[in-house]
Structure 1
Amino acid sequence: MLAVVLSLAAAAAFAASAMFIDSVSGRVGPLQLSRWQMSLAFLMTAVIAAVTGGWRTLDLEMVLWLTASSASGIMVGSLTYIATIQYTGPRISALLFTTASPFALALGFGFRGETVTLLQAAGVGLIVAGIALAVMGPKQDEGARTPKPLWIGILLGLVTSFAQALGSLLARPAMLEGADPVAAMVVRSGTGALFFIALLALPAFRPAALPSRVEVRQIGFSALAGMVVGMSFLMAALARGDVGIVTTLSSTTPIVILPMVWAVYRRIPGPLAWVGAAMAVAGTALISATS
């Protein structure tokens, strides 16, 4: 049950992070955004781990697992995530990312022997279908994009989902051995920050200008909510629950963000979003009842 609560808390933190970043996403490029988020998250988690003594829970093997997790979920996943949105737009990419759940279930079963009950499988199915309905909604303006082959975008989206599911799977051994969730995020965010900083060596990945002080503050709040709080909750959930279930529940961000958007922007979700939210809640209830 605790894994369910932690996974849903992670989804809520990811939703809050998205709200913070919404005001700067149009002015700060996605690569620069990732670079600042990872760097700020690393600084924040490093300070917390130093104060709480979380560093002492890590050994070399744990660090290697967490580094591999970052390489898959953050390095590969972030780059293909950006490319997917460029090829398909946000709505289709959001639908593609729901495939992270079945990927995680398959990986958990294949590599760790994790199985789910019929009720849990039904819950996962309801959540995935609910997320899909919630993000479909009325078609929104996806911006002026150069037409690109859709099949490439679909392939990139599937790679993103697989990379994120694999990242969770690779983090699980370290978490099962007792790694502190915040210290685990120091390794993951630090590895990611080094990667995105290293990309600056390539002229094509250099930003035209640095973000303003206000934008850096918003990125910092986003990093605190998503990378520090949210990902720490996710790491803690992986120490207590199966990869597939945790991945499914933590991916309910499109559902959790609906009331936030309603409260902040006064945009009432459409009928499909409400149906999707109800299905996701029902799916969560099924999983909770058997956890």
Structure 2
Amino acid sequence: MTLISEAFAIAAAFCFALSSMFLAELKGRVPLFQLARWQMLATVAMTGLISAGLGGWRTVGPLQFWQLAGSSLAGITIASTTYFATIYAVGPRITALLFSLTAPFAVALGYLAYGETITGRQGLGIVLVLGGIVLALGIQDALKPAAPASATLTAEPGAPAPPAAGWGFWLGILLGIVTAFGQAVGSLLARPAMASGVEPFTAMALRSGLAALLFILLSATPLGRSSRQPLRAGALGLVVASAFVGTTLGMSLLMAALHAGHVGIVSTLSSMTPVLILPMVWVRSGRRPALSAWLGALLAIAGTALISLRGG
């Protein structure tokens, strides 16, 4: 079963990469909060049906509900919104790379909240993740002044001018960091509920459902009303495809991999999104990613492996 679980983990990473490519196509077509609302509604519909079929709602008690509610606020409402914003700002490749920061943040939060030990190997892993991100971003190029508007060429769907776009580029980086931190906090808050036996799809349905409710309430405010656009089948189809591929199918594969495989190996293989997305960006944009992008992504994955793998 080991090879099957490893294949499932890689397939999950592929699904996460493809989902972000779908989302990148929505830049300029769907406002941010409207995208978040549609995405959460599609996700809760899909995962809710799976949960109902599995009888998962019986695994949630009052305590687990509130634990998952806190996780929803940090890991879904906040982190998903900043995730979409990051894709819009800097594109899916850099977004996937910045998402690698979730592992270092999770280790640090585990240390602060639960007194978990940070080993030397995990410390080296954190350094590799950070180094890989810096290398892949091409930080020296990013520090150069932004190119004039007449020279702007899209390096990848949803991305600004390569490799820098002034303050917009750095805002996207900041949003990506917030996304990774929010995901780590969300996972930390959900950990007790999951350890108590809550069914995974039920947890996802509950978290996304609460987030969808908040986004629906937000749509009644001036901020939400200003971001509405007419419903178009093509854009809605991309949102639903992203929710299905990234959340429903991707999470199903990940859960199947975790069920039969080694947690550390599965976590590492499922974090291969920054590498798997590079050919997708290449095909979509017609531009080959720089060597530093490949090397940086590989370094980030190696760092995640050192953080995730236990023993030895």
Bin of the TM-score, shorter chain as denominator length? 0.7 to 0.9
Judge conservation of contact 1:255–1:280 (CA < 8 Å) in 2. Answer: no
Moved more, 266-275 or 92-101: 92-101
| Aligned partner of 2:120 among 114, 118, 121 | 118
Structure 2 unmatched ranges of 5 or more: 143-152
Equivalent residue runs for 1:1-291 within 5 Å = 10-81=12-83, 89=90, 99-136=101-138, 141=154, 142-143=159-160, 158-206=177-225, 207-231=227-251, 252-263=272-283, 266-284=286-304, 286=306, 290=310
Measure how far apart 1:65 and its partner are. 0.9
Q: Secondary structure of 1:179's partner?
A: coil
AA aligned to 1:175 is: M
Hey, what's the Cα distance between the residues in 2 that align with 1:9 and 1:215?
25
AA aligned to 2:38 is: W
Hey, what's the Cα distance between the residues in 1 that align with 2:53 and 2:306?
39
Measure how far apart 1:56 and its partner are. 2.2
1:242-276 CA distances to partner (integer Å, 9 max, x unpaired)? 9xx96x87665333311333455554321101212
Structure 1 unmatched ranges of 5 or more: none
TM-score, normalization: structure 2? 0.73
AA aligned to 1:180 is: E
Hey, what's the Cα distance between the residues in 1 that align with 2:206 and 2:283?
35
Hey, what's the Cα distance between the residues in 1 that align with 2:299 and 2:172?
27
Hey, what's the Cα distance between the residues in 2 that align with 1:261 and 1:147?
22
1:85-126 CA distances to partner (integer Å, 9 max, x unpaired)? 78x755887776554443221111111233343223323432
Judge conservation of contact 1:122–1:286 (CA < 8 Å) in 2. Answer: yes
1:114-156 CA distances to partner (integer Å, 9 max, x unpaired)? 3343223323432342244334487764559x98699877766
Q: Calculate the aligned-residue CA RMSD, in Å.
A: 3.9
Judge conservation of contact 1:10–1:230 (CA < 8 Å) in 2. Answer: yes
Counting matched residue pairs gives: 285
1:196-218 CA distances to partner (integer Å, 9 max, x unpaired)? 11111112322342331122111
Would the alpha carbon gap of residues 218 and 96 (structure 1) be closer, same or farther in structure 2, given more than 3 Å must change?
closer
Would the alpha carbon gap of residues 60 and 189 (structure 1) be closer, same or farther in structure 2, given more than 3 Å must change?
same
Percent identity for Structure 1 against Structure 2: 47
Hey, what's the Cα distance between the residues in 1 that align with 2:20 and 2:180?
18
Q: Secondary structure of 1:107's partner?
A: helix
Match of 2:148 in 1: none
Hey, what's the Cα distance between the residues in 2 that align with 1:231 and 1:54?
15
AA aligned to 1:221 is: A
Hey, what's the Cα distance between the residues in 2 that align with 1:47 and 1:180?
13
Hey, what's the Cα distance between the residues in 2 that align with 1:125 and 1:8?
24
TM-score, normalization: structure 1? 0.77
Would the alpha carbon gap of residues 235 and 62 (structure 1) be closer, same or farther in structure 2, given more than 3 Å must change?
farther
Moved more, 266-275 or 8-17: 8-17
Would the alpha carbon gap of residues 218 and 81 (structure 1) be closer, same or farther in structure 2, given more than 3 Å must change?
closer
Judge conservation of contact 2:271–2:304 (CA < 8 Å) in 1. Answer: no
Q: Secondary structure of 1:195's partner?
A: helix
Hey, what's the Cα distance between the residues in 1 that align with 2:116 and 2:201?
25
Measure how far apart 1:230 and its partner are. 3.8
Moved more, 49-58 or 131-140: 131-140
Hey, what's the Cα distance between the residues in 2 that align with 1:255 and 1:110?
31
